[in-house]
Chains A and B, each alone.
Chain A
Amino acid sequence: MLRNLLSRISIAPCIIAMLLSTLVIAAPIVNAKGRPPRAVFLVLPDAVAPPTVNLRAEAIGDGRYRLHLDTEAFMFTEICVPEADAVPIGHAHVHVNGEKVASAYFPVVDIGPFAPGLHLVDVVLRGQDHRPIIGRDGLVQGRIKIAVPREPA
């Protein structure tokens, strides 16, 4: 009778049932921690001092600007790696009006030229594998508005 029962049970449903059961148990445990997606963010351990970044922009003519990234507890490097350690070392991505315009591997980067008007510059510090860094206080980012006059400075 047992042999008859076993012969009637197909292997595929058994494997699928086991797989689904495991996932139903495991997924809520992982998701309950509420961490941001690991594939996207590089979360620094609490023991590491959270980096900060403040932005300054100076006009250098023809609608172009020199952006200064004043950082604390962060080290710039040109070296990128496929999978970075959770340390405050890396570079910054510079977005203007939501579009990425540059990667800053040093604390000074030139951007533009910009058309006359108001432009929103966002800078997010990234790890060596390009993932945005998250410190104790969340995403490490800076924002500045650049008002480009009609006559370029």
Chain B
Amino acid sequence: MKRHLSTARFAIALPILFLLADQVNAHEAWLLTPTEIEELSKAPPPPLFRSQLWLGLAAALGFGMTLVALRIEPIIALIEDRLIVPIWKTYGDIGPLVLRFGLAAMLLLGSFGGLPRHGIDAWTTPTFMVPDMQLINVVGAEVLIVSQATLGILLIAGLFTRVCGLALVGFSLAGPILFGPAFWSYTPHFAAPGLILVALGAGRWSCDDLLNVDAGDRIVAPVRQVLWRVSHMLIGAGFIYLGLVYKLMQPTLLIAILEHGNMPTFGLPMPLIALIMTGVEILCGALLVTGRLVRPVALAILGAITFLAVVLGETPLFHANLYGALIVVLLAGRSVPIARGITPSLNARTV
């Protein structure tokens, strides 16, 4: 009974997200004013990003720090185990719940135009998964809107969740076909949550559990493990791609956005801050791809996107897919347990 009350409470809380929609700001270039756009059009990439010497030194420093972190990984793992034990057993319920509601909020708000691109009035233009992808003059827009909204509702209900996960992977792959190469920036970060849902299912607080319709038991444990690892690799690959294409190769854009948000510089030059952010993003992505230091990396990225959202005045809803996926990764770690009831340290040995 208690369980059902919790589900009902979460369902009631969801409409509150819609009230936040008017405060929503899309990010990146859409935030910039005409004067900032004009300055950006003339700004050359800073020398730091054009010098192989400086970039080489920065890369060597970053690599050295990564090696040190990898060296002390077993110590960090022990601390992780100690900290995570009190909540570890519930990760399979809390994680998917956060992920489902985060994804559902993005999908439902997008369907009704509640997550608009900056400069567009709320509730006027439906979008596909993210604010930048407006469903205007797109073939089959009506079908996409209905499918997206249906997927959102099913995710809230936690009904056929693993199938919804597969549908989400399908959506993320359809994006580049519908919207062109620009959508590749988003594909990994929606495909990964989809795979996580396929691997974990909806958790306890869901209709799947209530009605006992989860087909998860039929997915053999090694397949679940593969899906889990692939989801980490996708999240990591997504960060490497974003760091490379949008930050390392277009540093003036990142600098303009940071200056627009009056990012605190702590006395450091802005190009150096941009380079540090770029390096951290790429290294975190690489560590996720290789499956190392997974929990610390998830925590670091969660902290970074939260900090940026606060600085830029963005709504957390804009990165709800990442928040959900990273919280699950943070709770579960590198390997998804084969069965409930085993301790984290035992679990670590199953990898």
Which of B32, B34, B63 gathers the greatest number of chain A CB atoms within 10 Å? B34
Asked if B67 is at the interface of the complex by the 8 Å CB criterion, the answer is: yes
A117 within 8 A of B: no
Contacts of A37-83 to chain B: CB distance below 8 A:
37-41, 79-83
Q: Which residue of A17, A41, A95 contacts B33 across the interface (Cβ within 8 Å)?
A: A95
**Bound complex: CA A38 to CA B37 (Å):** 13
Residues of A in contact, count (CB < 8 Å): 41
The answer to whether A31 touches B251 (Cβ under 8 A) is yes
Q: Does A124 contact B (CB under 8 A)?
A: yes
Check if B51 sits within 8 Å of A34, measured CB to CB. no
The B240-297 residues at the A interface (CB cut-off 8 A) are 240, 244-246, 248-253, 282-283, 286-287, 289-292
Per DSSP, are chain A's interface residues mostly helix, strand or loop, or mixed?
mixed
Determine which of B37, B63, B183, B249 lies in contact with A40 in the assembled complex, contact meaning CB atoms within 8 Å: B37
Contact status of A134 and B41, CB under 8 A, knowing A19-B240, A37-B253, A82-B133? yes
> Which residue on chain A has the smallest CB distance to residue B29?
A40
Q: Is A124 a contact of B37 with CB atoms below 8 Å?
A: yes
Query: Residues of A contacting B83 with CB < 8 Å?
Result: none
Q: Are A141 and B34 in contact (CB under 8 A)?
A: yes
By beta carbon, the residue of chain B nearest A121 is B34
Asked if A12 and B51 sit within 8 Å, CB to CB, the answer is no
Q: Chain B contact residues (Cβ within 8 angstroms of A): what range? A: 35 or more
Which residues of B lie under 8 Å from residue A79 when comparing CB positions?
A: 137
- Min distance, Cβ B319 to any Cβ of chain A, angstroms: 18
Tell me, yes or no, whether B28 is within 8 Å of chain A by CB: yes
Residues of A within 8 A of B (CB): 10-13, 15-17, 19-21, 23-25, 27-28, 30-32, 34, 36-41, 79-83, 93, 95, 98, 100, 122, 124, 132, 134, 138-139, 141
Stretch at the interface among B94-102, B174-182, B224-232, B341-349: B174-182
Q: A20-B59, A27-B249 are in contact. Are A34 and B45 (CB under 8 A)?
A: yes
User: Contacts A82-B179, A95-B34, A122-B34 known; A38 to B44 CB distance under 8 Å?
Assistant: no
Chain B residues lying within 8 Å of A32, measured Cβ to Cβ, are: 45, 50
Contact in complex: A31, B50 (CB < 8 Å): yes
Question: Can you give 22 contacting A-B residue pairs, CB < 8 Å?
Answer: A13-B63, A13-B66, A13-B70, A19-B240, A20-B59, A23-B55, A23-B282, A25-B52, A28-B49, A28-B51, A31-B45, A31-B49, A31-B50, A36-B41, A36-B252, A37-B29, A39-B29, A40-B250, A83-B180, A93-B119, A138-B41, A139-B41
Looking at the assembled complex, report how far the CB atom of A34 sits from the nearest CB atom of chain B, in whole angstroms: 5
Known: A12-B290, A17-B63, A132-B37. A39 touches B282 (CB 8 A): no
Is B62 part of the contact surface with A, judged by Cβ < 8 Å?
yes
Say whether A98 contacts B253, CB under 8 Å.
no
Instruction: Give the most central of A10, A20, A93: most B CB within 10 Å.
Output: A20
In this assembly, does B35 line the interface, its C-beta being within 8 Å of a C-beta of chain A? yes
Bound form: Cα–Cα A27–B243 in Å = 11
Asked whether B56 lies within 8 Å of A24 as measured between CB atoms, the reply is yes
Assess the B180–A82 pair: CB atoms within 8 A.
yes
